[in-house]
Amino acid sequence: MKIADTNEVLALLKKVATGDEHSFSLLFDKYRPNIYTTALRIIGDEWTAEEILQDTFLKVWLNREILPDLENFGGWLYTIARNLTYNSIKQVQSEKKKLVKAAKESISVYYRQTDYLTEDKEFEHILKLAIERLPPKQKQTYQLIKEQEMKREEAALALNVSAETVKWNLDQAMRSIRAFCMAHLKDAPLIIGLYFSAKYF
């Protein structure tokens, strides 16, 4: 799939390369439908397709300095999205195997109330550490939406940024928190992970 880079796109790429968030938002809006639809068609899950979309543009932002030098931004963007989609499929298959193994190892722990409460306190402690480690913008966004229960538009107004920026920061914050907690709670019962997903995500 090749998307011709128009003069408009080339101009946006130059601005994004300098760190212009507004131009980045315009670029996101322009390519969002194609990238999202492509990922959804392959993976068949709306939430995962949205994550792939966000990860694709995160890579764009992190590599913004090279954007003006790309001969075909549309093709480059599609390649990133396609690779992330297939990697996601592999990851899901791997996680399913790990989940089955974790469930077998944890089943006998579910009925031990004392241990559960102890691990629950440990989880709350790890969660707080994960939130404290977030970059300032992600931390502020997470606290406004998840702790103060603001709507995305309200948080955007409070932080003086766009609603898309709020969503971006929240997605990255949630991803970082989840990864941190999983890394520090490897031996916790599976039920803690389910509680975490239900309450916080």
What pLDDT score was predicted for residue 80? 94
Instruction: Determine the Cα–Cα distance for residues 51 and 142; give it in Å rounded to an integer.
Output: 17
Q: Say whether both 29 and 68 belong to one domain.
A: yes
Supply 159's token pair. Answer: 């932080």
pTM of the complete model = 0.47
What pLDDT score was predicted for residue 96? 65
Q: What is the pLDDT of residues 80-129, one digit of tens each?
A: 999 999 888 887 777 766 665 665 555 444 444 444 444 567 777 888 88
Q: What is the pLDDT of residues 134-150, one digit of tens each?
A: 999 999 998 998 888 88
Q: Say whether both 57 and 126 belong to one domain.
A: no
Q: Say whether both 164 and 114 belong to one domain.
A: yes
What pLDDT score was predicted for residue 114? 41
Of 90, 121, 155, at which residue does a domain stop?
90
Residue 185 placed within a domain: yes
Average pLDDT over residues 167-175: 88
Q: Say whether both 13 and 83 belong to one domain.
A: yes
What pLDDT score was predicted for residue 105? 58
Residue 201's pLDDT band (cuts 50, 70, 90): very low
Tell me the residue range of the domain where 123 lies: 110-200
Give percent above pLDDT 90 in the chain: 40
What pLDDT score was predicted for residue 37? 92
Domain count, the chain: 2
Q: Say whether both 25 and 69 belong to one domain.
A: yes
SS (H, E, C) the chain: CCCCCCHHHHHHHHHHHCCCHHHHHHHHHHHHHHHHHHHHHHHCCHHHHHHHHHHHHHHHHHCHHHHHHCCCHHHHHHHHHHHHHHHHHHHHHHHHHHHHHHHHHHHHHCCCHHHHHHHHHHHHHHHHHHHHCCCHHHHHHHHHHHHCCCCHHHHHHHHCCCHHHHHHHHHHHHHHHHHHHHHHCCCCCHHHHHHHHHHHC
Q: Say whether both 191 and 117 belong to one domain.
A: yes
